[in-house]
Structure 1
Amino acid sequence: MLGKFNYLPMCHLLLISALFGFVSMHSIRKDNKLLLFLMDGFRWDYFDRKELNLPGFQRMIREGSKAEYLVPDFPSLSYPNYYSIMTGLHCEDHGMVGNYMFDTKHNESFLIGINKAQYHSYWWDDGEPLWVTAEKQGKRTYFYHWPGCEVTIRGVKPTYCLKYPILGYPKLKDMQNAISEGLELFSNGSAEVVGIYVELPDKYGHKYGPSSQQLNQKLEEIDAEMGKLLDELETRHLRDEVNVMIFSDHGMTEVSPNRVINITDYIDTDDLRVVLDAGANVYIWPNPGKLDKVYNDLVAMDNPHLTVLKKEDIPDKWYYRNHYRTSPILLVAESGWYITTPLLPQYYSYFGSGPMQGTHGFDNFEIDMRGIFLATGPDVAQNVVLKGFSNIHIYQVMCYMLGINPSPNDGEWGAVHGILPEDVSSATSTVADYVTLMVVMTISALIGAML
């Protein structure tokens, strides 16, 4: 029945067979499960504190890989970096350019925890988060208190999303419950991805300061849960099929009411269309024809602790300028300083506990803004410490562990070389090269057989 194809030269047949074998050997791999922890505000150097006892995290580091630090995207705020981590895109590409945003196309504001407009898909659709990528490729994803998991993004939601609490924030007990449920989902085959959002380091860092005893105590409580987690994975015989990955969105630095930049007396509110946020960053949309006036008024403050930028002058290193939601004027405080505005004229205070003691949002290359990354599991090299890298490189690693194809992203494999036991970038390249060669040689063989 094969006709002339029965007479393919033996050398061609052997070559084609060898190439098929090579590609199969290098491209087919076991798809493992993934347990994610987003530790909000967990600063890179908390692990090094002599007064802290963190055996759970230290065990994870010994049995897996750790980065010296994780560089957040600019601005070093929560929502921008939640999305940079989960999409592998810089802020100017995924469009989540602040905790508070204004969209000129829709004439709406994104105000976290305040307005329903934040759940509109258009805020999110410029990027594809991991759970969307995974769901589109047949993986079941469960997320607990994870910001954004309740939003329909590119027409997709996770299999399950436990929303962020309407009142309060997720406590230690919520984290414990999420871990327990997640492990059961892995055991009974219901989930391939479980993501757990942990806000405690951020809350305690803001409220009491990054050097406080209250924060240290909370870190030790979280650490105890990490030790229990590893034991439970072993008890359930899941250590060989579940990768655990922990990262933070940003760090934290000390602030005080003694370091405040008040812009109210230097600008005319009639010149302003929208002013959003306070603290490390302020975003300003002047009224038509007033951009230069507002800019010049702010520059005239001549405050050495304040940087005033028009959109076109935002540094390339921040990967922030090239999105339409980026404000026409951006204010950035020097690390440790706090900007107040006409709409938010008071330094932020926690009810019953006095002025805020810590915050973030500053230049993402400031040391105190650095976050954490560590991972352990069957796809992770053991006892490896990498140099610091940008958080945009994590998305591709998560996709690899799940055996799915990533959406286009800004990540580079070279930045995370060493996390995985094998060199994924060269293996992928080698497979692609051999597939191309196989196709060429197959065509050559067929043509030769028909001659």
Structure 2
Amino acid sequence: MKQGLQFFLLIFSLTFFAQKGNVDTTQVVIPNRYNSVEAQTKPYVIMISTDGFRYDYAKKYNAENLLRLSNEGVQAKAMFPSYPSITFPNHWTLITGLYPSHHGLIDNFFYDYKRKESYAMSDKKNAEDGSWYGGTPLWGLAEKQGMVSASLMWVGSASDAGGKRPTYYYPYHEKFSPSEKVDKVIEWLKLPMDKRPHFISLYFPEVDGSGHHFGPDTKETEDAVHLVDNAIGELVQEVNDLGLKNVNFVFVSDHGMIKVDGGSPLEIPAMLLNKDKFDIYNSQTLLRVYVKNQDKVKNVYKELKENKTDDYEVYLDKKLPKYLHFGTRDDRYNRIGQILLIPKAPKIFLEKGKKTSVGKHGYNPKIVPEMKATFFAWGPEFKNNLVIDEFANINVYPLVAEILGLKIDQPIDGKLKVLKKTLKEKN
């Protein structure tokens, strides 16, 4: 990549994605944590998420490092994100093995009627409060079993969700460039054996930001893919130079991206704008409705159904297709709402006077293929030159736990048998 382009992308990643105001970039280290003697003998897993890295981006934009590494290891045709196909729910699904309706992070923004509190992904107090998050994240599972872990900006990693934070982590910010994140990972892997993390989770936001701002089929998104791809190549080379044994890489994304019809958006039905009767939560690709008078739910549903256009569907939450795991039967935290209005891609719901982005996600990945995510894996534990069929992202958790030799201590939705075939047989 030319130096000029590298400079542009560095500035892009440090300005377009960075939060406003002063941000704490200091690493947090939990004291008095050490690998057990047994943990020191276990493999390493570096789990990398590139937000919004659509299932076809690597080939579409010739991500040379990722294509080479995944061709040598394991490459899925695609990975299905959980519904809705948005960032916070799917990152927490990947790290817990639970559907969003089962771990409670059902949207980037939602209201909990039992707590009488709102959750917003942009609220640091929410993000670092583990009581919002169900399930045991992989770093918590590792720490409970005597294995040191580390995380760079993964959703929820600064919280005490599941009872244990990673030994090494950073409060969320987007000030570090991809290359700087690589440096942080290498610093961790240079630590003494008793303090060296065996599970590392790492997050890159750049591709998602480009996809939203410019669209998935643009030079800017291609450049963001190459920026991350270069960082992956750099990371793998530097890890190899360390001479550590049995370092494995799992590269995933949370969802894909599609260009939406922002020029002629769908109007939210007028009746739903009555705040005395309804609470509405609009992510633009999904409109969730909470009817304050429970006795009126069926009547409201019937009226919405009768007056809808062909550009969207209306569902009672208990009638949503079972395979989405997003209806009443799955809503363990009662956060979803009773009625769902689901636009047909590329349509979106948009309030009057509001703006939208060029690219979006959130649609049903079984219907809208552009929502599908990426899964690549390589390293000593993985088979070579293996291509596998599409699978659901809930199954990544038990795969990583198996490599690390961790015992899953509570029920999850993912099944090891789905991805066990990607691992080499033990002698």
In the superposition, the TM-score normalised over structure 2's length comes to 0.84
Q: Which amino acid in the other structure matches residue 157 of structure 2?
A: C
Judge conservation of contact 1:33–1:186 (CA < 8 Å) in 2: no
- State the 1:397 CA deviation: 1.0
Matched, 1:53 2:62: yes
- Of 346, 369, 372, which aligns to 1:370? 372
1:326-341 → structure 2 map (5 Å cutoff): 326-341=336-351
C-alpha RMSD of the superposition: 2.2
- State the 1:91 CA deviation: 2.0
Judge conservation of contact 2:290–2:339 (CA < 8 Å) in 1: yes
Judge conservation of contact 1:271–1:290 (CA < 8 Å) in 2: no
- Of 258, 267, 270, which aligns to 1:262? 267
Deviations 1:254-281 (A, max 9, x none): 1132341111434351453422133101
Structure 1 counterpart SS, 2:98:
coil
Matched, 1:224 2:230: yes
- State the 1:347 CA deviation: 4.5
What residue is the counterpart of 1:439 in the other structure?
none
**Which one has the largest radius of gyration?**
1
Q: Which amino acid in the other structure matches residue 117 of structure 2?
A: E
* Structure 1 Cα separation of the partners of residues 273 and 231 of structure 2: 52
* Structure 1 Cα separation of the partners of residues 362 and 161 of structure 2: 26
Judge conservation of contact 2:272–2:280 (CA < 8 Å) in 1: no
- State the 1:253 CA deviation: 0.7
1:298-313 → structure 2 map (5 Å cutoff): 298-313=304-319
What residue is the counterpart of 1:96 in the other structure?
105
Deviates more, 1:296-305 or 1:62-71: 296-305
Structure 1 counterpart SS, 2:362:
coil
What residue is the counterpart of 1:449 in the other structure?
none
* Structure 2 Cα separation of the partners of residues 259 and 132 of structure 1: 45
- Of 231, 242, 249, which aligns to 2:254? 249
Q: Which amino acid in the other structure matches residue 417 of structure 2?
A: G
Runs (5+) with no aligned partner, structure 1: 1-27, 350-355, 428-451
Runs (5+) with no aligned partner, structure 2: 1-38
Identity, % of aligned positions: 26
1:284-363 → structure 2 map (5 Å cutoff): 284-288=289-293, 289-321=295-327, 322-323=330-331, 324-341=334-351, 345-349=352-356, 356-363=357-364
In the superposition, the TM-score normalised over structure 1's length comes to 0.79
* Structure 2 Cα separation of the partners of residues 222 and 47 of structure 1: 11
What residue is the counterpart of 2:28 in the other structure?
none
Number of aligned residue pairs: give it.
Answer: 380
1:346-425 → structure 2 map (5 Å cutoff): 346-349=353-356, 356-365=357-366, 366-407=368-409, 408-422=411-425
* Structure 2 Cα separation of the partners of residues 392 and 278 of structure 1: 22
* Structure 1 Cα separation of the partners of residues 184 and 59 of structure 2: 31
Structure 1 counterpart SS, 2:141:
helix
* Structure 1 Cα separation of the partners of residues 97 and 106 of structure 2: 14
What residue is the counterpart of 1:76 in the other structure?
85
Deviations 1:50-80 (A, max 9, x none): xx33221122113211111000001111111
Change (3 A) 1:33 1:334: same
Q: Which amino acid in the other structure matches residue 328 of structure 1?
A: Q
Change (3 A) 1:296 1:209: same
Deviations 1:203-243 (A, max 9, x none): 000000010111001111211122222221221113x3211
- State the 1:421 CA deviation: 0.9
* Structure 1 Cα separation of the partners of residues 343 and 105 of structure 2: 20
* Structure 1 Cα separation of the partners of residues 418 and 191 of structure 2: 35
Judge conservation of contact 1:271–1:286 (CA < 8 Å) in 2: no
Structure 2 counterpart SS, 1:75:
coil
Change (3 A) 1:278 1:61: closer
Deviations 1:164-205 (A, max 9, x none): 22xxx35xx532222112122123232112211111111000
Judge conservation of contact 2:258–2:359 (CA < 8 Å) in 1: yes
Matched, 1:112 2:121: yes
Structure 2 counterpart SS, 1:85:
helix
* Structure 2 Cα separation of the partners of residues 270 and 101 of structure 1: 16
Structure 2 counterpart SS, 1:196:
strand
- Of 138, 150, 157, which aligns to 1:142? 150
What residue is the counterpart of 2:242 in the other structure?
236
* Structure 1 Cα separation of the partners of residues 322 and 62 of structure 2: 40
* Structure 1 Cα separation of the partners of residues 214 and 187 of structure 2: 35
